[in-house]
Amino acid sequence: MIAEQSASSSADDVLVGSSLWRDAWLRLKRNRMAMAGLGVTLALTALSFGGPFVTHALWGYDYESQNLAYGARPPSAAHWFGTDYFGRDLLTRVLFGGQISLTVGLLAASVAASIGTLYGAVSGYAGGRIDGLMMRIVDVIYALPYMFLVIVLVTIFGKSLPLLFLSLGMVGWLMTARIVRGQMLSLKEREFVLAARSLGVRNYTILFRHLIPNTLGPIIVYFTLTVPSMILQEAFLSFLGLGVQAPRPSLGALISDGAQHMAVFWWELVFPGGLMALLLFSLNFLGDGVRDALDPSSRGRS
């Protein structure tokens, strides 16, 4: 009886299946740096989105109210990060700036992933001359200076926040398109696609129901690595005066302002710069961990 139960339990263990996503999650959990990056990213996200409400409720601070008579003061019990040149609480502005930078990074990366996935999927699945033409368009755009295109788009269409992440996303989709196209060229000749064609399934259904879901792994990996890149691009635009416009702060705008007063008011540069560095480190560690989890063989590559 005991032998039968043990055999039954061992058979049940054998029948318990697994999936790509479950295996990837287990590998990700074993990566300490990636999990640390995930924890720091979640903590900074919670602080950035909830912190300004807390400082306003406790002390009445907000990101735009000025107190010129108070001016720039170093960190103190009343202002943990000090105040800026216009007497505004720097802690509130840094947290709100983190909120803006995270929003721009996530939305711009989402726009880039959406455009790149659709473009690359259509190009790879169509093949032939259509694929050649679409990829030559990508090559031409890729040869143009990336930041020059963003500056042109921001200058033409305005400097509002929605147009900022749309502009970043509209020129950041090229690598995603190439990755998805490469996946499509491999997947479209697989047996399940040939079977769907033989059954008369429409190309639209094959593309969106069968092919694109099978490319989600590389798309997610590149998405996690694109977010910090978009945050850096926004910071660079803020240095040029083309990013988020005052009085609304972003981390890039705060660092730009702090760089002008760093010799006198060091805290205006140290705190936003430190938060951005911590955020970028954690996002990059998380992105590397997701890449290794979804493609374990990549860890052995140089």
pLDDT digits (tens, 9 = 90+) for 186-231: 888 888 888 888 888 898 899 988 899 888 888 998 899 899 999 9
> Between residues 256 and 1, which one has the greater pLDDT?
256
In a domain, 216, yes or no: yes
CATH of the domain at 213: 1.10.3720.10
pTM of the predicted structure, to 2 decimals = 0.85
The total of structural domains in the chain comes to 1
In a domain, 20, yes or no: no
Is 177 within a domain? yes
Structural domain span for residue 160: 38-295
Angle between helices 161-170 and 146-157 (to 10 degrees): 150
- Residue 64 maps to a domain: yes
In a domain? residue 7? no
Element (H, E) at 78: none
Residues 287-291 have a mean pLDDT of 90
Whether the bond into 249 is cis, omega within 30 of 0:
no
Distance of CA 151 to the CA centre of its chain: 20
Q: How confident is the model at residue 296 (pLDDT cuts 50, 70, 90)?
A: low
Residue 11 maps to a domain: no
Q: CA-CA distance, 34 to 21, in Å (whole number)?
A: 16
Neighbouring residues of 106: CB distance < 8 A, sequence distance ≥ 6: 227
Cα Rg of the chain (Å, integer): 24
Q: What is the mean pLDDT of residues 39-57?
A: 95
The residue written with tokens 């800026």 in the block is: 84
Query: Is position 3 within any domain?
Result: no
The answer as to whether 9 is a domain residue is no
**Among 226, 220, 241, which Cα is nearest to 164's?**
241
Core vs surface per residue 14-52: b (16+ CB within 10 A) or e: eeeeeeeeeebeebbeebeebeebbebbeebeebbeebb
Q: Given a cut of 80, is residue 15 above it in pLDDT?
A: no
